[in-house]
Each structure stands twice: as C-alpha cells, then as structure tokens.
C-alpha cells in the first residue's frame, strides 16, 4: 500500500476513524475490497452517493457509451449536449410543473451557491435564513448558511444578513419576514443525526414563506434519489419548494449536482448580467449519462419503493441492542443513537474490524449512520444484520 500522506481530503471521515484508512482497490454492489482481499460491507454509500450500488452494470455501460462519443465540448449554450437534455427532461417529468428548469453543476455546494444567487435575483432581497445543525457544503455561501459554529468560526467574515433558526421551532418562523430572500432547509436533517420534521412544521414554514414572499429552498442533496423511500423526500412530506438542490446520488457515482426551479425563476439569471451563473464542467455529459442510467435503475428495479421496508428491517433488529438508545430513520437512512457513554470512535473501529463500514454524523456525537446502497438484496440484508448484531454484541462497552 502506498503512503497516503500526500492526499489532503478531509472528507474521508472524522479524524477519530481515519487514522488508519483502508485503501479500496475495487468495489461491487454493497462490497468494498482492499488490497489484501478483504471484503467490507458499505453501510455509508459514500454518504448517500452510491444508491445504485458500486459499478452497477447499467450505469457503467452508460458511462462507457458516452465516453466513446464525447466528454467535454463547450459550455454557455453554444452546443446542446444530449445527455444533459435527456436528463433534464426526465427530471422535469418526475417533478411538479413548478420545478421544470434544471441548472446542472458539479457538486452539492455549487447547487446551494446557485440557489442562493437565484433567490437574490428573484426577490431582490438579501436576507437568508437556514437552520441550526444543518450542513449545506463547504463553499463560502453554503458555509454561511451552515448551522454549526464549529465549521464556520475560522472563516468569518462570511455572507452578511444570514440567520439560523431552530429546526422544528414553530415560533421562530416569525423571524422570516419581508427582507428574507430565501429559507434554506434540509427537510430531514441528515448530519444532525437524521432529524425528522415535526408534523406540520414544513407546512407552517411554506405558509410563512408565502406570506412574506420569501423563497423556500430544499436541500435534498443527501435525501434525493430514493434514499428516504420516495424519489425526493418532499413528495412524502407534502410541501413543494420553490427551488430544490440535488447532488450526491444524482450522478450514479459521478460528480453532478443541480438546482431546479421554474423556467420563469431561472430566467432571472439571464439578464443584468446576462451570464448570471456559469460553470465550465457543470452537467458533464458523462455524469449526465450516468445519472440518467442510475435513475432508470432506481425506477426499473423498484428500489425506491423497497427503501422503507429495507430500512425497517435494520431498525427492528437494532432496537433490540442493549446500548442503542433510539433510532431515527427515513427510508434506508438510519441514525442509530447510542447511550452517551459509548465511545463511538472505538465502536466504529470495532465494526470495521468486523468488515462493516459505518460512519459518524458531523453534528451528532452519539449516533452513527447506516445507509447502504439501495440495491442491497433481501439475503444481503439478513447477512449484514447478523454481522451487525454479532459485532455490536461483542463490543466491550
């Protein structure tokens, strides 16, 4: 194994578990393999990226097919790139009519940046509101709206005119007013440890935004593409946002993101200045081809419908484990909360020894994430649950 000192990627995980990272040589389905032939179970999916599993043949074939045609051609509307057109059409057909115009970018953070700029242009306002313990990305605008001081403090000054409210606090919605350009929210907070919205909270938020003319932006970067049991989480939450931000699983393993709104809204980015938002690689044809194929896999293999059942199997069994305090779950995305005295870093290493890869949340010290590829089969689920139980029950707490 080569030295990995030259890589400076903090997104490999939290320092408590990356002292001894595994070097992955190949991956297939729910399995990650290292140089020594060990097979690890991927219960993270690259943080909700690999929803269709690793190297799904349909996705790989689409990538290869596009590679043989072209990669980058030209941006700024000089050419139409057919993978983009096909994907935008497909997404629009799956979304409500008010979300029919797609701006492709490269990542989640970029999708947030684009959405924030769009909200400013549409409303002519500058105020931006988001929620405590929300993660929205590492770029300056996304960081300004991120809801945890630990990641922001060192980088101030950030964007002015921003404020974070408490998630699920109905009274604080009063802070949204006629100076507010937009409210950015993860409708289910992921990095906070899978925090679900209380009944009526998102509806009250929608109503308040409508009253004062603020735009509602949903960050579905981690939630989208089947993870929560519907293609997009908002479908089961009963509230349609003005702008939706997508990334992660969108690219089927390739880098891709998007912010999506109505055509009228998007038009505001085309005047004063004419190039209101531009990107060289956003919507790369190979990523779009992979994305379309991944979407087909999710739909054709009925993975979205199965996510809730698969998630419930993990939930039912893990609830019986002694030190498990509670489980919060959305589809096949679980936050397993342990008693506060359980040393979580040590537990994660123990699970890794048992060939199970799980990880911690950014903003919850006592919980770990379970979010395997949605392709995990019934048989694999049974095996993985058994491995988990065995590992958790042999850990010296």
Judged by the rule CB under 6 A, the positions of this chain that interact with ligand PLP are 47, 107-109, 135-137, 186, 190-191, 219, 221-222, 247
Between residues 102 and 324, which has the closer beta carbon with respect to ligand PLP? 102
Between residues 247 and 286, which has the closer beta carbon with respect to ligand PLP? 247
Give the count of beta carbons closer than 10 Å to the beta carbon of residue 343: 14
Between residues 131 and 381, which has the closer beta carbon with respect to ligand PLP? 131
Token pair belonging to 220? 């579905």
Least distance (Å) from ligand PLP to the CB of residue 7? 16
Least distance (Å) from ligand PLP to the CB of residue 327? 20
Asked if residue 154 lies in contact with residue 148, where contact means CB atoms within 8 angstroms, the answer is no
Between residues 44 and 295, which has the closer beta carbon with respect to ligand PLP? 44
- Burial class of residue 129 in the structure, from the number of CB atoms within 10 Å of its CB (0-12 exposed, 13-18 middle, 19+ buried): buried
Asked if residue 91 lies in contact with residue 258, where contact means CB atoms within 8 angstroms, the answer is yes
Between residues 332 and 391, which has the closer beta carbon with respect to ligand PLP? 332
Least distance (Å) from ligand PLP to the CB of residue 192? 10
Between residues 187 and 384, which has the closer beta carbon with respect to ligand PLP? 187
Please name which of 228, 300, 258, 266 lies closest in space to residue 87, comparing C-alpha atoms.
Answer: 258
Q: What are phi and psi of 59, to 5 degrees?
A: -70, -45
Token pair belonging to 100? 């029919």
Least distance (Å) from ligand PLP to the CB of residue 230? 17
Least distance (Å) from ligand PLP to the CB of residue 282? 12
Q: In 301-374, where does DSSP find H-type helix?
A: 303-318, 344-353
Q: What is the DSSP letter of 396?
A: -
Asked if residue 376 lies in contact with residue 384, where contact means CB atoms within 8 angstroms, the answer is yes
Least distance (Å) from ligand PLP to the CB of residue 95? 19
């Amino acid at each position: 194994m080569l030295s990995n000192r030259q890589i400076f990627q903090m997104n490999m995980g939290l320092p408590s578990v990356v002292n001894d990272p595994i070097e992955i040589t190949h991956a297939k389905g729910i399995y990650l393999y290292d140089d020594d032939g060990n097979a690890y179970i991927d219960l993270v999916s690259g943080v909700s990226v690999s929803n269709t599993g690793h190297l799904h043949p349909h996705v790989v074939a689409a990538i290869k097919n596009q590679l043989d045609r072209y990669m980058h051609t030209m941006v700024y509307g000089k050419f139409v790139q057919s993978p983009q057109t096909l994907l935008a059409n497909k997404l629009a057909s799956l979304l409500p009519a008010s979300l029919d115009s797609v701006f492709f970018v490269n990542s989640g953070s970029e999708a947030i940046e684009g959405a924030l700029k769009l909200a400013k242009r549409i409303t002519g306002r500058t105020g931006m509101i988001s929620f405590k313990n929300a993660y929205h990305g590492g770029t300056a605008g996304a960081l300004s709206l991120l809801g945890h001081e630990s990641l922001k403090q060192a980088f101030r000054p950030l964007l002015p005119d921003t404020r974070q409210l408490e998630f699920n606090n109905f009274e604080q919605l009063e802070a949204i007013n006629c100076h507010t350009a937009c409210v950015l929210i993860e409708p289910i907070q992921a990095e906070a440890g899978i925090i679900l919205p209380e009944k009526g909270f998102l509806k009250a938020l929608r109503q308040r935004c409508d009253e004062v003319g603020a735009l509602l932006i949903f960050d579905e970067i981690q939630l989208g593409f089947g993870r929560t049991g519907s293609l997009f989480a908002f479908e089961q939450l009963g509230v349609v946002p003005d702008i939706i931000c997508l990334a992660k699983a969108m690219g089927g393993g390739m880098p891709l993101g998007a912010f999506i709104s109505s055509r009228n809204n998007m038009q505001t980015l085309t005047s004063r200045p004419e190039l209101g938002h531009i990107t060289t690689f956003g919507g790369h044809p190979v990523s779009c081809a992979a994305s379309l194929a991944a979407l087909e896999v999710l739909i054709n293999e009925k993975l979205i419908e199965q996510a809730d059942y698969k998630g419930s199997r993990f939930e039912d069994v893990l609830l019986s484990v002694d030190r498990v305090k509670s489980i919060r779950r959305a589809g096949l995305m679980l936050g397993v909360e342990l008693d506060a005295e359980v040393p979580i870093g040590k537990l994660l290493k123990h699970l890794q020894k048992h060939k199970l890869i799980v990880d911690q949340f950014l903003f919850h010290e006592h919980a770990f994430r379970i979010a395997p590829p949605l392709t995990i089969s019934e048989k694999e689920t049974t095996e993985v649950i058994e491995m988990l139980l065995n590992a958790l029950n042999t850990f010296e707490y």
